[in-house]
Amino acid sequence: MRKYWLDNLRWVIVLLVLFYHVIYFYNNKGVFGGIGGFGGNQYQDIVMYVLYPWFMMLMFLIAGISSRYSLEKISSKQFLSSRTRKLLVPATLGLFILHWITGFFNSQGASLANGSPVFSDEMPVFIKYFIWTLSGTGPLWFIQDLWLFSIILLLIRKFDKKDKLWQACEKIGIIPIILLGLLLYVGSFTLISNPRAESFDGLLNLYKPLNYLIPFLMGYFVFSHNKVQEILGKYSPILISIAIICGTILTITTFGQDNTSPQYLQSPLNIIYTWFMMLGLLGIFQRFFNKTNPFATYMTKSSYGLYIVHYLVIASFGYILKVYTSLPIFAIYATLTLAVFVLSPLIYEILRRIPFIRYCVFGIKK
């Protein structure tokens, strides 16, 4: 029986990612990327403090659960083939077909922030194209990580052929579930606290491979069990209440800091907020949203595509709105929000109907 609540939670998080990137693009809290803010406190940046600690962590945990369900239906070979087509192809070929445009606008934004052009006029266009391609990855880091985690999972399954580890996690109770959050705390210290300039340290802190592998594997081995999901549903009001209290305190006491820095992410309060929010949302959706309708069905099928294309809209329209218009700040945010929620589905629906393009960008064969 299909778990509609899991589908619903996944596409709701994708929609939150779209809105998050609207706010992130104009943030002035020192968070890497975007095009810079408008000055002042920018209290709208609170959205980043509320969402960033947990939403990608939860996406990886959900991916781990889904991987378990997939591998119950198909072989490891089929799983690898499917994951390579749906994850690795869009994260490589898709860069050359579509996301170089994102890289172009990223370079424009960097030029604006630096006060001088990123590229010299003498640099050949084809060199710029390859640089734009490499810098156009954007949110595709998620599917690149996910492909790597899928390979690691298959290797673990090879050593655990009798599925003993998964079976051992079935009888876990609410207290051990809560204590699993300590693994996130341990994982946070795999981040590089003082990244060196002109090195790959910043890139590793973006991808956080060891940090995100933990929720992915917990999703596969622990949270794919029906009993565990039912426990979270039972305690969901308490779990989400704790998360809201911790998140409120965290946001009030840290507003103005770079909420993506290793030091911020390693703080105990951030870990507590992150873990209880993840558990609470899993429980809330399991308990109250295990149903579907035409809109939810469409979002279940299209949310991956929306995730793939949405940052192109953010980078291009976000840049144009700030540089070439004199709209009030509120109007800029409202216009970019409308653009990303309207144009992302439109771009997805157009591209998925074009042979070869749909394969490169979304990993869709037919």
Whether 259 contacts 53, CB under 8 Å: yes
Q: For residue range 212-228, what is the model confidence (pLDDT) as tens digits? A: 999 999 999 999 999 99
The more confident residue out of 110 and 149 is: 149
Per-residue pLDDT at 44 exceeds 70: yes
CA dist., res. 242 & res. 249, Å (int): 11
Per-residue pLDDT at 198 exceeds 70: no
Least confident stretch, 37-41, 64-68, 352-356 = 37-41
> What is the structure's pLDDT at 295?
97
CA dist., res. 93 & res. 362, Å (int): 10
Whether 97 contacts 131, CB under 8 Å: no
Q: For residue range 89-143, what is the model confidence (pLDDT) as tens digits? A: 999 999 999 999 999 998 888 777 666 777 877 888 889 999 999 889 999 999 9
**Alpha-carbon separation of residue 242 from 166, 237, 284, 285 (angstroms):** 28, 9, 13, 17
Whether 18 contacts 344, CB under 8 Å: yes
Per-residue pLDDT at 30 exceeds 90: no
Count CA within 13 A, CB hemisphere, residue 100. 14
Give me the mean pLDDT over the 236-252 stretch.
Answer: 98
Q: Which two tokens stand for residue 222?
A: 């622990």
Give me the mean pLDDT over the 130-158 stretch.
Answer: 95
**Alpha-carbon separation of residue 72 from 163, 215, 258 (angstroms):** 11, 20, 41
**Alpha-carbon separation of residue 180 from 7, 186, 229 (angstroms):** 24, 10, 15
Average pLDDT, the chain: 94
Give me the mean pLDDT over the 270-296 stretch.
Answer: 97
Category of 34 on φ-ψ map: left (φ > 0), alpha (ψ -120 to 50) or beta: left
Three-state helix/strand/coil letters over the chain: CCCHHHHHHHHHHHHHHHHHHHHHHCCCCCCCCCCCCCCCCCHHHHHHHHHCCCHHHHHHHHHHHHHHHHHCCCCHHHHHHHHHHHHHCCCCHHHHHHHHHHHHHHHHHHHHHHCCCCCCCCCCHHHHHHHHHHCCCHHHHHHHHHHHHHHHHHHHHHHCCCCHHHHHCCCCCHHHHHHCHHHHHHHHCCCCCCCCCCCCHHHHHHHCHHHHHHHHHHHHHCCCCHHHHHHHHHHHHHHHHHHHHHHHHHHHHHECECCCCHHHHCCHHHHHHHHHHHHHHHHHHHHHCCCCCHHHHHHHHHHHHHHHHHHHHHHHHHHHHHHHCCCCHHHHHHHHHHHHHHHHHHHHHHHCCCCCHHHHHHCCCC
Rg (CA), the chain: 21
> What is the structure's pLDDT at 267?
97
The more confident residue out of 152 and 206 is: 152
Whether 333 contacts 165, CB under 8 Å: no
Give me the mean pLDDT over the 192-218 stretch.
Answer: 87
Per-residue pLDDT at 366 exceeds 80: no
Whether 60 contacts 218, CB under 8 Å: no
Give me the mean pLDDT over the 259-275 stretch.
Answer: 96
Residue of 65, 95, 77, 96 whose CA lies nearest to 278: 65
Per-residue pLDDT at 288 exceeds 70: yes
The more confident residue out of 120 and 46 is: 46
Residue with tokens 């099928």: 301
> What is the structure's pLDDT at 200?
77
> What is the structure's pLDDT at 118?
75
Measure the N-to-C terminal CA separation of the chain; round to a whole number of Å. 26
pTM: predicted TM-score of the whole model, two decimal places: 0.96
